[in-house]
Amino acid sequence: MARLFGTDGVRGRANDQLTAELALALASAAVRVLGANARSRPRVVVGRDPRASGELLEAALCAGLAAAGADAIRVGVVPTPAVAFLTADYRADFGVMISASHNPMPDNGIKFFAAGGHKLPDDVEDEIEAAMHADQPRPTGAGVGRIRDAQDAAERYLAHLAESVPTSLDGLTLVVDCAHGAASHVAPRAYEAAGAKVIAIHAEPDGLNINDGCGSTHMDKLRAAVLEYGADLGLAHDGDADRCLAVDSTGSVVDGDRIMAILALAMHEAGHLTDGVLVATVMSNLGLHLAMKSAGIELKVTGVGDRYVLEELRSGGYALGGEQSGHIVVPAVGTTGDGVLTGLMLAARVAQTGQRLADLAGVMTVLPQELINVPVSDKHAVAVAEEVLSAVAAAESELDGCGRILLRPSGTEQLVRVMVEAQTPESARGIAERVAAVVAGV
């Protein structure tokens, strides 16, 4: 049987694979596992992004929590990192976020945070899945949990952001793409509170338009808006605002690797980069490795997924890590990737130095990279098929040490990702297309 939890929680098409019944069962099981050591009745923070199906799943989750004897604290539509922060700030036993992040609207997902706002390790997720199949007595009477709405959740999160980045953004003009998602109400307020002039786009969620041709997975409209308004930079969030990508004043995209390079150098310069270490995943461009080596910064590499970056950060006590996709984690001020915090820190670096974002990003030369997502019926079987492994070996031989190929199953979808870096865009594209064709044919 396939594992229920993927790279980032439980995801699926809402009301199809991810049903109200599944959400209810997950919530009750999570109370038995994550609330087992609660000193009194477990308290659980519940947030969501604006997807229409989030309303249904929120109701089911809260019912499951109450049925298992836990109190649900509904914080409404807020970013995923806000749920992580509020789980700690409200001293809850755990938190739940209902979101499918950058996925299209029909999908949804359920992510859990342990006490303190930390993501769960695999073994704890497995415990929750096992608990779903175990019969447990249910409380009655006064033992049934209660459900209440938190009135100050967004204000608490905004105050946390303001305290985390004290540098004023006065004089900067920002275009912020909110992806019609969870950032729509809080992100513009956070940047304005820091002193920036903010032009918000795609900040009118209607439950159906999240990530629809906008946000961090569709950057063209943000690039056009930055040029139209003559902004200093643009910031793009995804549906649940745990990631941030940027656009410089020339309209060029600044990805997560370059953002990490900029922040790593800033923290290293200030003496805040613990042991001179940056943590990234295997998907980060070779250019990041070279730039960090040149700056005397060690790059530690993990598997794909911000949870694995988080594990490495926590085990080593490191100060900065992230992914090319724009999940950036700064443990001193957050327990998980926070796109709005990343945007504030990046804009603050522009304000501090007086340099254009394009100049700051120039510290890193990006090796041409091609990424092809290949839909398959069984991503794990295809990734290890003999003909696929032979194609990868042939590609490595062709690259001859002057690039690399990475093939991996998606953590959230039935896709196999083929990523190639080479000396030229044409070479990267050609090799990636040949390997992708083999993958598709299995």
C-beta of residue 283 within 8 angstroms of C-beta of residue 291:
no
Q: Give whole-number Cα distances, 425 to 207, 336, 388, in Å.
A: 38, 33, 22
Rounded distance, CA 7 to CA 413, Å? 10
Strand pairing class (10-13; 43-48): unpaired
Rounded distance, CA 241 to CA 340, Å? 7
Rounded distance, CA 279 to CA 298, Å? 8
- Which residues share a beta bridge with 369? 421
Q: In the annotation, is 294 catalytic?
A: no
Task: Tell me the chain's radius of gyration from C-alpha atoms.
Answer: 22
C-beta of residue 360 within 8 angstroms of C-beta of residue 262:
yes
Structure tokens at 305: 């997924």
Strands in 314-395 per DSSP E: 321-322, 328-329, 369-375
C-beta of residue 425 within 8 angstroms of C-beta of residue 403:
no
Total residue count of the chain as it appears in this document = 442
Q: Phi/psi class of residue 11: alpha, beta or left (left: φ > 0; alpha: ψ in -120 to 50)? A: beta
C-beta of residue 74 within 8 angstroms of C-beta of residue 24:
no
Rounded distance, CA 25 to CA 9, Å? 15
Which residue of the set 28, 101, 164, 325 is catalytic?
A: 101
CB atoms near residue 3 (< 10 Å): 10
C-beta of residue 430 within 8 angstroms of C-beta of residue 418:
no
Q: How many CA atoms lie within 13 A of 229 on its CB side?
A: 21
CB atoms near residue 142 (< 10 Å): 8
Apex 140 CA angle, 134 and 142, nearest 5: 130
Nearest to 31 by CA among 41, 39, 19: 41
Strands in 197-276 per DSSP E: 197-201, 233-237, 244-248, 253-254
Rounded distance, CA 437 to CA 184, Å? 39
Binding annotation for Mg(2+): 101, 238, 240, 242
Task: Look at the block and give the residue holding tokens 């004023």.
Answer: 168
Binding annotation: 101, 238, 240, 242
Catalytic residues, by residue number, are 101
